[in-house]
Amino acid sequence: MIRVVGLVAKYEEPKAAEMASWLVPWLKEKGKQVLVEERMVRVGGRSCSKKEMARKADLIVVLGGDGTLLSIARLVERPNVPILGVNLGGLGFITEVAVDELESVLDKTLAGNFSVEKRMTLEIRVYSKRHRPNKFRVLNDGVIAKGARARIIDLETYVGKEYLCTYRADGLIISTPTGSTAYSLAAGGPILYPSLGAILLSPICPHTLTNRPIVVSSKSTIRVTLRSAGDTVILSPDGQQGVLLNNDDVVEVRDYRVPVSLVKAPSRGYFEILRNKLKWGER
């Protein structure tokens, strides 16, 4: 039963603010309590932080692009809470619902007439001699990349207890199947069907051209040790604020085991989304 609806919006986007201004009273008319971000309080609803919304909402509606959805998805620790992503017009793979079908889809969702797709998330831990361990959860990816002026970096990589290789590259993307259509795709990685249980490793501009992307089991634990002293290297989890890595720091990645539930658009399938977003078949 959906009683509390959380609303997350790309607040600086005029279309998002316009949609939120009619959506909040529409939800209240249906007897729903509406939670909004503190910076969206002007549209009505009860103001709260994203962390509180992630704990209390029975349904979360996201008005924006994939980045806006990522900002709340990693905070939702209850896999039974559906997230409905509304694409406001940009290139989005996880915000499936179009603006003109929002009211119809949301009406059905509130009535319990909807289906979800479970998307795996990753747990990323950073171990360093210089500071306490950091822990992150991502829906898309964790990116280890050199700074603008740094040289090629060395990344000693293990899958489980087995040595994979030491990447000499501009960086390494470790992603979920959901994240395979994000930065990894731009780096030449394959597209993975989003419900697969797999982890994708895609090197960024590898010095050795035969270092190609590789897909491993979601049961694997990935350990990447930075072997480059004096270089500026950053870990960016899902595009969050970067974490500076030092020589010999270890980045450990594994399945978080708490998936995110995304409401599926009833009018289209995943392959149709790929065709439309990537312009497949066009000349």
Do 126 and 223 lie in one domain? The reply is yes
- Residue 153 resides in a domain: yes
Q: Is the pLDDT of residue 177 over 60?
A: yes
Q: How far is CA 243 from CA 89, 124, 205, 231, 250, in A?
A: 31, 12, 21, 14, 12
Q: What is the pLDDT of residue 97?
A: 86
Do 27 and 107 lie in one domain? The reply is yes
The string of pLDDT tens digits covering residues 146-173 is 987 778 999 999 999 999 999 999 999 9
How many domains does the chain fold into? 2
pTM: 0.93
Do 96 and 171 lie in one domain? The reply is no
Active site residues: 66
- Residue 84 resides in a domain: yes
Quickly count: other Cβ atoms within 10 Å of residue 265's Cβ. Answer: 22
Out of 9-13, 98-102, 224-228, 265-269, least confident range: 265-269
Do 94 and 179 lie in one domain? The reply is no
Quickly count: other Cβ atoms within 10 Å of residue 50's Cβ. Answer: 18
- Residue 283 resides in a domain: no
Do 52 and 114 lie in one domain? The reply is yes
- Residue 142 resides in a domain: yes
We report the CATH number of the domain holding residue 206 as 2.60.200.30
Q: Is the pLDDT of residue 92 over 80?
A: no
Do 38 and 158 lie in one domain? The reply is no
- Residue 268 resides in a domain: yes
The string of pLDDT tens digits covering residues 36-80 is 998 887 888 899 999 999 999 999 999 988 889 999 999 999 999
We report the CATH number of the domain holding residue 87 as 3.40.50.10330
- Residue 250 resides in a domain: yes
Do 15 and 107 lie in one domain? The reply is yes
Do 94 and 129 lie in one domain? The reply is no
Out of 86-100, 114-128, 155-169, least confident range: 86-100
Q: What is the pLDDT of residue 14?
A: 84
Do 127 and 251 lie in one domain? The reply is yes
- Residue 221 resides in a domain: yes
Do 251 and 182 lie in one domain? The reply is yes
Q: Is the pLDDT of residue 98 over 90?
A: no
- Residue 105 resides in a domain: yes
Decide which of 265 and 171 is more confident: 171
Rg of the Cα atoms in the chain: 20
Do 174 and 93 lie in one domain? The reply is no
Do 134 and 178 lie in one domain? The reply is yes
In one-letter notation, the amino acid at residue 31 is: G
Percent of the chain with pLDDT over 90: 73
Q: What is the pLDDT of residue 273?
A: 85
The string of pLDDT tens digits covering residues 180-226 is 999 999 999 999 999 999 999 999 999 998 999 999 999 999 999 99
Q: For residue 57, give its domain range.
A: 4-119+259-278
8 Å CB contact between 263 and 102: no
Out of 2-6, 111-115, 247-251, least confident range: 111-115
